[in-house]
Amino acid sequence: MDKHRVIIKGGNIVGRGTEDIAIADGRIIERASSIEATAEDRVINASGLMVAPAFVDVHVHLREPGYGYKERIATGTMAAARGGYTTVCSMPNLNPVPDCVEGLQAQLDIIERDAKIEVLPYAAITIGRKGEELVDLASLKDKVCAFSDDGSGVQVDGMMERAMTEAVKHDALIAAHCEVEELLKGGYIHDGEYARQHGHKGICSESEWEQVKRDIEIAERLGCRYHVCHISTKETVELVRQAKARGVKVTCETGPHYLIFTDMDLEEDARWKMNPPLRSTEDRAALVEGIKDGTIDMIATDHAPHSVEEKSRGLKDSAMGIVGLETAFAALNTHLVRKGVITLERLVELMSINPRKVFRINGGIEVGDRADIVLFDTEREWRVDSNNFYSMGRISMFDGREMVGDVVMTLHRGEVVYDNKTK
């Protein structure tokens, strides 16, 4: 058992202090103040580095099958490893849509062949993500992390009720992109000051929170496990906060960009276009309070790569979506941790511990855990250059910005999948 170990020596485990970690057969076998290495062990010198359970992103778009010109599972998972992630959950905006076992298998085959880390797919809630016919949850539940029609909200109340009824039967998680389509009115950025100043059509906050309100009411009545994707409004934060206080089985995520920028940071550039859009200063403040008080459970990037051509049509006509896997930790460390908004321990909870709990994902740094571990340097200074991304997506609002803090090494099942230690 002790042969061919990996020993991480001298790292500062977030919230724990300096300890050595020994890994064998893909799992943590020992943690101690000092572990003696043998000649057969691989020793990783983590002196001066922070060590934490590797990050989990429950909301990424890997684009395969169907849209490999935007991203591939190989490139997207390498980007994730570079960002400190060892598990990503792949959204169902694909062709074929994973709405049946056969459709899902097309994605699973690529994952098995090309993924550099763990990829857990979502299945759709409805056939073709069209909102008209419920998928067979029973046949898919053991093969996916959750069910979502991401990219569009389930518009019909009765359909969401049926979905949650089935989810309760199978202890499945419903993860909802909440958007009332009749309230969009052709909008493509937040219906706020920037839209008014520059003559753009806005997306009202109610288009998000009205559907969240509906879903929470159904989930509360049925006892369904319900997760709200990429929340962006102050009203949504308050709805989730109140629901949690009542004991509703509701969780939620927000993205790094919603915590750092507002609509008044927008430029006439598609780097600033995503769905939901960047909201007001008041919305951002509510989101920050939500990650501080536990209302918001986790941070997910909504990594959504598009081709350069699809993102070159300006703010109005470009596709919605930005990339985020390779910059998330650095951006959040720079703008939240270093500014004293949250602690590093809280950031690790939001990026690793909580998503593992909610989505029931293995991995960590306790003895017996699957050895999914990230080493990072909170003081390393670097400039984001999208030309160096592993992702095929090159559209990032952080491009050219100075960051403080970076991932140095990522281990998945005890194997090094990304190594930036020598740079």
Q: How many angstroms separate the CA atoms of 121 and 145, rounded?
A: 6
Is there a cis peptide before residue 277, judged by omega within 30 degrees of 0? no
* Nearest C-alpha neighbor of 257 from the set 235, 236, 283: 283
Residue type, position 337, single letter? V
* Nearest C-alpha neighbor of 109 from the set 123, 121, 92, 99: 121
Handedness of CA 316, 60, 124, 234 (dihedral sign): negative
Which pair of tokens denotes residue 10? 């001298």
369 catalytic? Reply is no
Residue 160 has φ and ψ, to the nearest 5°, of -65, -35
Torsion of CA 308, 153, 79, 188, to 10 degrees: 30
Q: How many angstroms separate the CA atoms of 49 and 5, rounded?
A: 20
Q: What separation, in Å, do the N-terminal and C-terminal C-alpha atoms of the chain show?
A: 33
The 10 Å CB-count burial string (b at 16+, else e) for 82-103 is: bbbbbbbbbbbbbebbbbbeeb
What distance separates the 2 farthest-apart alpha carbons in the chain? Answer: 68
Selecting among 150, 215, 263, 302, the annotated active-site residue is: 302
Q: Are strands 85-90 and 55-60 parallel, antiparallel or unpaired?
A: parallel
Within 10 angstroms of residue 197's Cβ, the number of other Cβ atoms is: 11
Catalytic residues: 302
